Structure 1
Amino acid sequence: MVGKHRGLVSRLKKHTPQMHGLHCLIHQSVLCAKLSGELKEVMDKVMRVIHFVRGTSSTQHRLFRQLVAESEGATHDDLLLHNDVRWLSKGKALDRFCALLDEVKAFPRLSKIRAAADHLALLGDEKFMSNVAFLADIFGHLNQLNLQLQGRGKTIVDMVEKLESFTRKLELFESDISTGRLLHFSALKSQALGQVTELMVDFIKQLRANFMSRFEDYSIPKDIIAFVRDPLTVRPSGDVTSQAKQMIPSLDEAALEMELIDFQTSSLVSDALRSAESVSTFWVGSSEEYSTIKRLTFYVLTMFPSTYTCESSFSSMNAIKTHERNRLTHKNLENCLRIKVTSISPDIQKIVTDGRCQFSH
C-alpha cells in the first residue's frame, strides 16, 4: 500500500503529486509497543501457561473452567488466548491472566501432567510475576488509547490530539513507576512483593521515544492541525499560510491571509466555535465567505487517519456472508453491507405509512 516505489500511494502520487499518504495511526501506535528482549520472553511464558491450561486437552480446559466456577472470588470464567493480529488481544489476555491468577496458581497443583511443576515454579517467581503485572498495566493503558482512536467519524485532528495526550501520559507513567508510587499501575501495586525494575522504566522510556519518533511527522504540519482545531489563535502572517501553500500548491496564500483576519475578528465565528459539537460540525457550518480557509480545513478533515472503517466493514461482511449463506449474490451482499455499515436510521413508521398494503382476494 505505502511502498516507496510500487505501492498504491506512490503510484497515485504520480497522477496527483499534492496527495498525502498516511499510515494508519492506530496500527502505528500498536507497532510502538512491540515487545522485545526479556519482556517478550515474559509474554511468551505467560502464553505457555495459558496454552497449558487451555490447549493441552479439552479435559484439562474443562477442569480449569470447573475450578474457576467453584471459586468464589473469580470475576471471569476462563483465560483468553493472545493473537498478534488483534489490536487489543495482548492487553486483554494479560488482564484476564492477572484477574484469575489465584486459580491459575492453584490449577498446576491439581494437575498430574509433568509440565505442571515447571509452570508452578514459574508462577512462584516474584520477579516474573512483577513483570507480568507491569505488562498488564501498561498494555491496559495502551488498550484505552486504542479504543479512543477507534470509531467512525474520527478525524486526524481528533486522533493527533489523543496521541499527543498519551505521549505526555507516558512521561507521567515513567515518573510514577520510578518513584514507586504506582498510582497508575494497579496490578503491579497489588502484588504483595511487586518489584519495580530498571527493565520497566526502560520500557516506558523506549515506548515514549517510539511514540515521539513515529508521530513526530504526520506528513501534515502540526501548525496546520492546530489551526484546524483552534483557528482563532493563529497569526495570519505566520507559518500556517506558507505551510498551507506547500500542502496545496493551488491555494491562494494572499486570499488565505486576508480571510484569516476577517475570520478571527468575527464575533459570530468565535461564538460558533465555542458552541459547536465538534470541529467538523463547526467547519461544515461556517460561512462560504471564507472559502479559502474552508478548502484548507476540508482538505485536512477529509483525510482517513486510520483503517478502522475498512476493517470494521470487512468484519461486517464476514458476519453477513457465512458458509451457510454461500449462495448470497454480490448484489444482495452489497445491499446487506450497506444497511449494516450506514449511520442513517430508517424511519420505519414513515415507510409503513407510505407503503401500499397487498390484500388477498
Structure 2
Amino acid sequence: MLESRNIDVKSIISVTTDGAPAMVGRERGLVARLKEDNPDMISYYCKIHQSVLCASLGYEYGELMETIMKLVNFPRSTLLEERKDETDTKYVQYIEKLINNFKVRFDDFVLGKQFLLFIQNPFLVTDITEFSVEANLTWKWVDAAKIQLELIDFQENVALKQVFCDCTPETFWSKEGSPANFPTLHRLAAQILTMFGSTYCCKSAFSIMNLVKNKFRSCMTNEQLHHCLRLAITPIVTKFRN
C-alpha cells in the first residue's frame, strides 16, 4: 500500500494505533515491521481508546470508582479526618494498582514541559538546556548544541516575535516559521503538529465505508467506493448557487 502511493517508510514520523496485536505485536505487528526500516519512528496509543478503556472498568469496579470520585470531591481536611479506615486502604491500593497498570500499558512517549511550551510559544522557553534534553529524548537526531543556538537566535528575532503574536502557532510554524534560518526548530514543530492524537479519522472512514457499501450495493466496484468515500469524508463544503 505504501509503495503504490509512493510513500517512503523513512519519511513516516509517527503512527497512532488502537493497541490491537496486529498493530503493536512485537514480531509481526505493523509498528514493529515499520520500525525495521525506520527505527526513529514514534508509535503511541490512541487517546480515545485510552479514555474508553478507563471508562470500561466494568460493574465490578463501578461502585468503587463512584465512591472514589465522591471522596476526591471532599475537602482534603475532611477526608483525612473522617476516612481513616480499612476502606480507604482498599481504595488507595486499587488506585495505585490502576496507575501502575496504565503506566505500563500506555508507556508511549512523554513531551516535557519546556518542549510543549516551545510549541505553544517558543519565546517563553526559559530553560534552553532542559528544552534540548527533552527534545533529544524523543528525537535522537536532535543535536543539543545546534538546537540551543537556534533557539537563542530565534528568541532574539524581533520580527518573528511580532509575526507570532499576530497568528496561531499552527499558522506560524506552517507558513512563517523561517525554516531556512531555523531548520531544526521548524522540523521539530512540524513533526509535533502533524501527529494524530487518535485513530478517529481512520475509524470514522471505516464507519462511512460500511454505510456506503451496504448489502444493497453489492455490485459497487472499488473505484466507485473510493470516489464515494472521498465525497463523504471531505471537509470541503460545496457551495451551490440558486
Give how far 1:198 is off: 5.7
Counterpart among 185, 189, 199 of residue 297 in structure 1: 189
* Structure 1 unmatched runs, 5+: 44-130, 139-172, 182-196, 353-361
The 1:4–1:227 alpha-carbon spacing in structure 2 relative to 1, beyond 3 Å, is: farther
Q: How much does 1:13 deviate? A: 0.8
Match of residue 308 from structure 1: 200
CA distance in 2, matches of 1:198, 1:280: 46
Deviation sequence 1:216-247 (CA, Å, 0-9, x none): 85424324334223322324641322343454
Question: For 1:236 and 1:198, how far apart are their aligned partners in 2?
Answer: 40
Deviation string, structure 1 residues 91-140 (Cα, Å, up to 9, x no partner) = xxxxxxxxxxxxxxxxxxxxxxxxxxxxxxxxxxxxxxxx49949xx7xx
- The Cα RMSD (Å) is 3.8
Q: Is the counterpart of residue 21 in structure 1 residue 43 in structure 2? A: yes
Give matches, 1:1-361, under 5 Å. Answer: 1-35=23-57, 40-41=59-60, 131=63, 134=66, 174-177=71-74, 205=95, 209=99, 213=103, 217-223=107-113, 224-235=115-126, 237-277=128-168, 279-285=169-175, 286-288=177-179, 289-349=181-241
Judged with a 3 Å threshold, the aligned counterparts in structure 2 of structure 1 residues 265 and 204 are, in CA distance, closer, same or farther, namely farther
Letter in structure 2 aligned against 1:3: G
Write the letter of the residue equivalent to 2:72: S
Percent identity of the aligned residues? 32
Q: Is the contact made by 2:43 and 2:108 (CA closer than 8 Å) also made in structure 1?
A: no
5+ residue gaps in structure 2?
1-22, 79-86
Alignment partners' CA distance in 1, 2:54 and 2:195 = 22
Deviation per CA, 1:240-275, whole angstroms, max 9, x where unpaired?
223434544444443322221122223343444444
- Given residue 38 of structure 2, which amino acid in structure 1 is its aligned partner? T
Change (3 A) 1:261 1:316: same
Q: Counterpart of 1:22 in 2: which secondary structure?
A: strand
Report if the CA contact (8 A) 2:24-2:31 is conserved: yes
Q: TM-score, normalised by structure 2?
A: 0.68
SS at match of 2:24: coil
How has the CA–CA distance of structure 1 residues 347 and 244 changed in structure 2, closer, same or farther, with 3 Å as cutoff?
same
In structure 2, distance between residues paired with 1:134 and 1:201: 11
Q: Give 1:203 deviation, angstroms.
A: 9.8
Which TM-score applies when normalising by structure 1? 0.48
Across the two proteins, how many residue pairs are aligned to each other? 209
Q: Kindly provide the CA deviation profile for residues 185-214 of structure 1, in whole angstroms up to 9, marking residues without a partner as x.
A: xxxxxxxxxxxx869966994698369736
Deviations 1:276-309 (A, max 9, x none): 34x3223113223322201011122222221111
Does the CA contact (< 8 Å) of 2:135 and 2:142 recur in 1? yes
How far apart, CA to CA, are the structure 2 residues paired with 1:202 and 1:272?
A: 49
